[in-house]
Amino acid sequence: MERGKKPHVLVIPYPTQGHLNPLIQFSKFLSYKGLHITVAITKFIFKTFKPSTDTLFDWDTISDGFDDGGFAAASSIDEYLIRIQTIGTKTLTDLIRRHESSSHPIDGVVYDAFMPWALDVAKGFGLMVAPFFTQPCSVNFIYYCFHKGFLGLPRSKVASLPELELQDMPSFFSAPECYPNYFKLVLNQWSNTEGADWILVNSIYEFEPKEGDELSKIGPTLTIGPTIPSFYIDNHNENDKKYELDLFKIEPEEASLARIWLDTKSKGSVVYVSFGSMSNISITQMGEFASGLVESNYYFIWVIRESEKAKLPTGFAPEKGLILEWSSQLEVLSNKAVGCFFTHCGWNSTLEALCLGVSMVGMPQWTDQPTIAKYVEDVWKVGVRVKVGEDGIVGKEEIKGCIRKVMEGDKATEFKENALKWKQLGLKALREGGSSMKHIDQLISSMREKISAD
């Protein structure tokens, strides 16, 4: 089929690392499957990080209203969200109209559900459109229930979900006053989905079958995960080893150092620690964590962003630890030396660990992370969740104890066996006949049918 005959899909990620990664990876996969893909990122990200043009898809840009500074240039979260909607709507309209007069007009739009205004723009052009939910089915369903008035605070009983205490709900429920704009953002994902042709979720049906079924009652839902570079999933492209666009620079020396250091350690002997790209841990908590980690007496790799390093105890230089500013997380998690992932339970990180068969200690911070930590401990049973003290701090004894439970405790073998079980299910999902592969094929078939009908 000639390139111009392929369905042309415009993909629009929300401009943060945790949202860019899954949507761009999904774009790669759609390209493998024979679609013509254009990924539209903000002008600030494009000119600042200069993504490679040697990709399976095309790049284009929209504006969030802060072309010279991105989110950091906004005076508030509210200002940023207002401007990305108003300016984003206009520039997305211009982009689609520009492509209309080209040899490759756009046939469909896949947009991050954080930007529901993209659906309205796409429907104005008569295009097929699908929101892409980057969080798990369980969390999406909780937000839907609250948005529709089916769930009130502090009530936490949600149909088809495990029994949830308030501490297991997304953080916006226990402290709605802390991030009101973000709470509104996650709820508004459901503001207009009745107009969508498909609802896409970066999850795996086998991981959340009841939750996926509940979403399917709302609209035509397709779980299409895991959106992880194919080298770690099915190896249909052995060169696809990393995410396409990294907003945090990984120094080659650090990546090489981590690889060499891990290769000198025995199987399952290392604790890998990372709290993601947006964590903000207090100085007191950082001190307790550092002490607990060292006193656990395991080798560890701890990824600490430069902005967080000043919170470490003075002179912190552990003999059994390696401190990095950023890492190739997939490469580290897939190394045989790693026996435990101490994580904030962000969904991308959790999905990676599940699909690589790694046990976890969860220390959730905010947003969807408390719910994911609940699933890690009580649904998938691949690890434990730390208990927070009355002062809001996780003490060093709790940190040390949780690490030992996962690495050597009575349930350590069970955690590992469960992790390997989920790994196999995750790998199977994207193979021929797997649940996610079937859903992706459904999406592509519907695109082709629309083009034929038009």
Asked whether residue 420 falls in the same domain as residue 437, the answer is: no
pLDDT at 156: 62
Mapped onto helix, strand or coil, the DSSP state of residue 77 is helix
34-62 pLDDT, tens digit per residue, is: 999 999 999 999 999 888 888 889 999 99
What residues have CB less than 8 Å from 312, skipping those under 6 apart? 286, 287, 290, 304
pLDDT at 174: 87
> What is the rounded average pLDDT of the residues 416-433?
96
**How sure is the predictor about 239, in pLDDT bands with cuts at 50, 70 and 90?**
confident
Phi-psi region at 433: left, alpha or beta (left = phi > 0; alpha = psi -120 to 50): left
* Average pLDDT of the chain, as a whole number: 93
β-bridge mates for residue 341, sequence order: 272, 360
Give the containing element (helix H, strand E) for 66: none
> What is the rounded average pLDDT of the residues 249-262?
80
Longest distance between any two alpha carbons in the chain, whole Å = 68
Domain containing residue 128: 3-225+430-453
pLDDT at 4: 44
pLDDT at 3: 41
Give, as one character, the DSSP assignment of residue 388. Answer: P
pLDDT at 250: 65
What residues have CB less than 8 Å from 366, skipping those under 6 apart? 171, 179
Asked whether residue 117 falls in the same domain as residue 11, the answer is: yes
Give the containing element (helix H, strand E) for 109: strand 108-112
> What is the rounded average pLDDT of the residues 337-363?
98
- Indicate the pTM of the whole model: 0.95
Asked whether residue 38 falls in the same domain as residue 86, the answer is: yes
What whole-number percentage of the chain has pLDDT above 70? 96
Residue 246, domain member (yes or no): no
- The C-alpha atoms of residue 189 and residue 187 are separated, in whole angstroms, by 5
Residue 247, domain member (yes or no): no
85-143 pLDDT, tens digit per residue, is: 999 999 999 999 999 988 899 999 999 999 999 999 999 999 999 999 999 999 999 99
**Looking at 11-15, 61-65, 228-232, which range is the least confident one?**
228-232
pLDDT at 2: 44
Asked whether residue 311 falls in the same domain as residue 193, the answer is: no
Instruction: Name the most confidently modeled range: 227-236, 395-404, 443-452.
Output: 395-404
Query: For residues 296 and 318, is the Cβ–Cβ distance under 8 A?
Result: no
* Domain CATH number, residue 272: 3.40.50.2000
Asked whether residue 421 falls in the same domain as residue 434, the answer is: no
**Would you state the structure tokens that stand for residue 174, as one six-digit string?**
């226990």
Spatial strand order of the sheet with 8-12 comes to: 58-62, 36-42, 8-12, 108-112, 128-133, 199-201, 221-223
Asked whether residue 201 falls in the same domain as residue 276, the answer is: no
Asked whether residue 221 falls in the same domain as residue 171, the answer is: yes
Asked whether residue 401 falls in the same domain as residue 439, the answer is: no
HEC string for 147-178: HCCCCCCCCCCCCCCCCCCHHHCCHHHHCCCC
The domain total for the chain is 2
Residue 237, domain member (yes or no): no
pLDDT at 425: 97
Say how far residue 410 (Cα) sits from the centre of its chain: 31
What whole-number percentage of the chain has pLDDT above 90? 81
296-331 pLDDT, tens digit per residue, is: 999 999 999 888 999 999 999 999 999 998 888 999
**Would you state the structure tokens that stand for residue 442, as one six-digit string?**
């459904």
Asked whether residue 406 falls in the same domain as residue 446, the answer is: no
pLDDT greater than 70 at residue 155: no
pLDDT at 226: 96
Mapped onto helix, strand or coil, the DSSP state of residue 324 is strand
Asked whether residue 177 falls in the same domain as residue 206, the answer is: yes
Q: Which residue has the higher pLDDT, 18 or 177?
A: 18
Q: Which residue has the higher pLDDT, 178 or 20?
A: 20
- The C-alpha atoms of residue 182 and residue 301 are separated, in whole angstroms, by 31
pLDDT greater than 70 at residue 227: yes
pLDDT at 81: 96
- The C-alpha atoms of residue 352 and residue 343 are separated, in whole angstroms, by 11
First to last CA, the chain: 17
Question: Sign of the CA dihedral 241, 243, 244, 246?
Answer: negative
Asked whether residue 417 falls in the same domain as residue 446, the answer is: no
Residue 233, domain member (yes or no): no
260-283 pLDDT, tens digit per residue, is: 999 999 999 999 999 987 778 999
Asked whether residue 14 falls in the same domain as residue 156, the answer is: yes
